[in-house]
Amino acid sequence: MNARLLKNLALPFALLAVCVFFALREPAFLGPRNLTQLIVEFSLTGTLALGMFLILLTGQIDLSVGSGVGLIGGLAAVLVFQQGWPAPLALGTAFAAALVLWLLMGALIVGQRIPSFIITLGGLLIFKGLFWLVIQNSTIPVARGDQDNLYSLLTTYYLPPAAGLALAAAVAAGLALLTYLARSARTAHKLPVAATNRALAQWFATAAALLGAAYLFNQFRGVPLPLLILSATAVTVYFLTQHTPFGRYLYAIGGNEEAAVLSGIAVNRVLIGAYVLMGVAVALTGFMTTAYSGSSTTTVGDLMELDAIAACVIGGTALRGGRGTVWGVIFGALIMTALLNGMTLLAVAPEIKFIARGAVLTLAVWMDVRLGKK
């Protein structure tokens, strides 16, 4: 029990250690403005990491997502700001393009039995080249006019203070209802449930954290829209992986693909479905990243695939597949974002940032290998 508790607390402790270190070095790290920006950056990394999570669960990988983020965001930016398309139509077109590209990539992987590492590495280069062609190696500003309002507001809109607090209270109430229903169902089936005092303590802690976060965000501008997008994505992925046959198939394929085939699982369709969902995550991240950058440039999306993979592995997702949780991915993304945000705040040299990111990724993979042997 002690070992299990220590394992569950490892990620929160790691996040706390990172935050304490940067807060001691730079008090502005815990200021409302920087924390809000950190949460926006976390939302970008977290959304992409949740898509990567679905791929890694099956034992596959996708190295093309960083280039895809730039391509899809750049395509939408060109359609809106150079071609004069309405923002909803441009975003919808770019979204559809992402679905088609990742559908084709998934079909190629399963249809030709080519390792996903090779196909997605090729996709990384192809999408990067297409991205530069689409924006013609120039900078496409994401202006803040009437026609582009929907695009630019993706990362510049904040909930009004009262709405943010009301949303936090509603989420806390929803969690209380879900907890009550789950406990009632387990009790009805004579299954063990956690002690009432413990359940209440967990709910109070969660509710306090939600209301505290909303209050903190209100000290700057309010709850940022990207956090709501990430939250919706996380809830969707959690539901898919924990409460649907599709999610169980993802774990089964990653655990033992041959056994999954013998048990009647349509492995090819599940793998293609996972890549299509990756395309959804790439599109959402592409739109938000481009809007947050303020323009579509040749560097948008660079190395985001590595941050997404690192977030998953730090959170306990196995590179071999079959193991991982949504909450682990969220914590992993938050740790990665806090690390990068803190280094930026301290004006750390770019070369040191590269070294730190590489070291974190290497450490995460080493931990995955060590856990895989146990």
Question: Same structural domain for residues 119 and 175?
Answer: no
Residue with tokens 């009004």: 160
Q: Are 87 and 143 in contact (CB under 8 A)?
A: no
Does 8 map to a domain?
no
Question: Same structural domain for residues 212 and 357?
Answer: no
pLDDT band for position 189 (cuts 50, 70, 90) = confident
Question: Same structural domain for residues 77 and 96?
Answer: yes
Question: Same structural domain for residues 318 and 213?
Answer: no
Does 272 map to a domain?
yes
- CA 183 to CA 205: how far, in whole Å? 18
> Measuring CA to CA, how many Å separate 55 from each of 30, 63, 125, 241, 370?
34, 11, 19, 12, 21
Question: Same structural domain for residues 206 and 192?
Answer: yes
- Determine which of 98-112, 136-150, 193-207, 230-244 has the lowest per-residue pLDDT on average: 136-150
Residues in the chain: 374
Question: Same structural domain for residues 99 and 37?
Answer: yes
Is the pLDDT reported for residue 8 higher than 70?
no
Q: Are 45 and 293 in contact (CB under 8 A)?
A: no
Percent of residues, the chain, with pLDDT higher than 70:
94
Is the pLDDT reported for residue 146 higher than 80?
no
Question: Same structural domain for residues 83 and 208?
Answer: no
Q: Among residues 186, 207, 222, which one ends one of the domains?
A: 222
pLDDT in tens, 195-235: 888 888 888 988 998 999 999 999 999 999 999 999 999 99
Is the pLDDT reported for residue 267 higher than 90?
yes
Question: Same structural domain for residues 167 and 243?
Answer: no
Domain count for the chain, please give it. 2
Does 135 map to a domain?
yes
> Measuring CA to CA, how many Å separate 275 from each of 18, 57, 73, 283, 332?
33, 12, 18, 12, 21
Average pLDDT rounded to a whole number, residues 150-169: 91
- CA 180 to CA 167: how far, in whole Å? 20
pLDDT band for position 46 (cuts 50, 70, 90) = very high
**SS3 track for 164-225:** HHHHHHHHHHHHHHHHHHHHHHHHHCCCCCCCHHHHHHHHHHHHHHHHHHHHHHHCCCCCEH
Average pLDDT rounded to a whole number, residues 346-374: 79
Average pLDDT, the chain: 89
Q: Among residues 222, 244, 264, which one ends one of the domains?
A: 222
Give the chain's radius of gyration (CA, Å): 21
Q: Residue 150 has what pLDDT?
A: 82
Q: Residue 145 has what pLDDT?
A: 52
Q: Among residues 180, 202, 222, which one ends one of the domains?
A: 222
Tell me phi and psi for residue 50, to 5 degrees.
-65, -35
- CA 300 to CA 293: how far, in whole Å? 8
Is the pLDDT reported for residue 36 higher than 50?
yes
Calculate the dihedral angle through the C-alpha atoms of 328, 331, 333, 335, rounding to the nearest 10 degrees.
-140
Is the pLDDT reported for residue 368 higher than 70?
no
Q: Please give the model's pTM, rounded to 2 decimal places.
A: 0.92
Question: Same structural domain for residues 202 and 79?
Answer: no
User: Which residues does 48 contact at the CB level (< 8 Å), separation at least 6?
Assistant: 65, 69, 281, 282, 285, 304, 307, 308
Average pLDDT rounded to a whole number, residues 292-309: 92
Is the pLDDT reported for residue 6 higher than 70?
no
Is the pLDDT reported for residue 1 higher than 50?
no
| CATH number of the domain to which 314 belongs | 1.10.3470
pLDDT in tens, 269-285: 999 999 999 999 999 99
Q: Residue 195 has what pLDDT?
A: 80
Domain of residue 110, residue span: 31-157+224-372
pLDDT in tens, 55-77: 999 999 999 999 999 999 999 99
Give 158's strand partners.
Answer: 224
